[in-house]
Amino acid sequence: MIKITHNGRPFDAKRFADELRSHAVEMGMQAIEEKARGAAGSIVDPETGKHAVVFVDRLPQNRVGIRTSGSPAFARLLEKRLGVGVGDVTVMGVDKMAAEPRVYLAHASEDKELVRPLARYLMEHGIETWFDEWEIEPGDSLRQKMEEGLGEMTHFMVILTQISITKPWVAREIDVGLVRLVGGTSRMVPLRVGVQVGDLSPFLQTLLCEAIDLSSKADLAALVDRLHDVSRKPALGSKPRYVETVPAGLEGWSSSAIAIAQLLAKKSEHATSFDPMMQPHEISEATGIAPTDVRMGILDLRDAGLLWQSEAGDLSVAPLGSLFVEFDASVMPFDPEQDAVTIANRLVGEGVEDAETEQLANTLGWEPRRMNSAICYLERAGAIDARHSLASEPWRAVCLTAGDETLRFVRSRS
């Protein structure tokens, strides 16, 4: 009698299938995590000029969550690099608070007539406002209702008047606001109405307590902008021409990564992978970049999947096809994306399913360098099937096959 075992146990087909499935899921999750971290490692935060920290968290139902300590601009670049939707990368410390302000309006009961128009103004301008006379009904627990309002707020706003600064109840509310401010769970917005800073408690004097005229439309509008996180900082103008800027479309790349990629793109004869191959010291000499910065730039490009690096002692590097897709437009007299659209339009418009690469290039009047870059773009976009051959030099592929993906690519750019 033959007994079949698996991992030292009697073979069970269901358990074996479950283990295979679990292993496949684990491999897939690891691949997603590596891709996310690699893409993140290749992006420089446009607001700080530094690499941001990225966390890839495993979620139920075989999903992942991506969080970053970087800026919202960094998150958008990472989403673009990963090909995910806007908002799929969460910015830590910048949550819904900024987009959906909820104000707890603390004041003295004697100032009700003064404060009521302010509460209405805030509500009319998209700011959910906890105002006691709207929230507390007869028979309600005053303490419970106020605790609910304080617990849900994103901004603790207190109206400081000659009356309210003497009220013990308002002082207790301010204490709660200060605790939440220190804990980072809400912001504090103390507003002075007819009160000098010197009249305030020592704690409040350490905070920015702005004076406000509640009858002034300009003051109220400025307050609403502040609550909605509309910056009072003037818009950033263009840099002087003599200041080096990052080429359009390459935001998020470090200056060293850009210089290295552009050098390789310029030196490539046919825009095929491993053309050219260079050593780090050669790149440093050609670009004038310090060796340590060359290493960092290589790491950025390698983590993004655009660069191959030898594990041998010379650490030679070479471009992968995707590097030309990303950087050709900044150094070559053509744009791979526009050329890719031209090829796809021709294939779809003429109903061609299979096209010989060399013949198509001759029809378009393109050299291999330009044709190969466009083919790489189409492959990276999943818009064509390209048949490769070891004897296809100088072409990246010998034949291009159009399909439904090609049609979708064309329609999405119509």
Pick the CATH number of 333-411 from 3.50.50.60, 1.10.10.10, 3.30.365.10, 3.40.50.1370: 1.10.10.10
**Two structure tokens written together for 281:** 């010291």
Neighbours of 60 (CB within 10 A): 5
* Integer Cα distance of 360 and 409 in angstroms: 19
pLDDT interval class at 138 (50, 70, 90)? confident
- The yes-or-no verdict on residue 141 having pLDDT over 50 is yes
pLDDT tens digit string along 316-374? 999 998 899 899 999 999 999 999 999 999 999 888 889 999 999 999 999 999 999 99
**Architecture category of domain 255-329 in CATH:** Orthogonal Bundle (1.10)
Does 102-227 match 255-329 in CATH topology? no
What is the model's pTM? 0.52
- Residue-by-residue DSSP string for 295-348: HHHHHHHHHTT-EEE-SSTT--EEE-HHHHHHHHHHHSSS-HHHHHHHHHHHHH
Domain range summary for the chain, segments of one domain joined by +: 14-94, 102-227, 255-329, 333-411
CATH fold label, 102-227: Rossmann fold (3.40.50)
pLDDT interval class at 101 (50, 70, 90)? confident
* Integer Cα distance of 140 and 145 in angstroms: 7
Question: Looking at residue 25, what is its pLDDT?
Answer: 64
**Two structure tokens written together for 2:** 């033959």
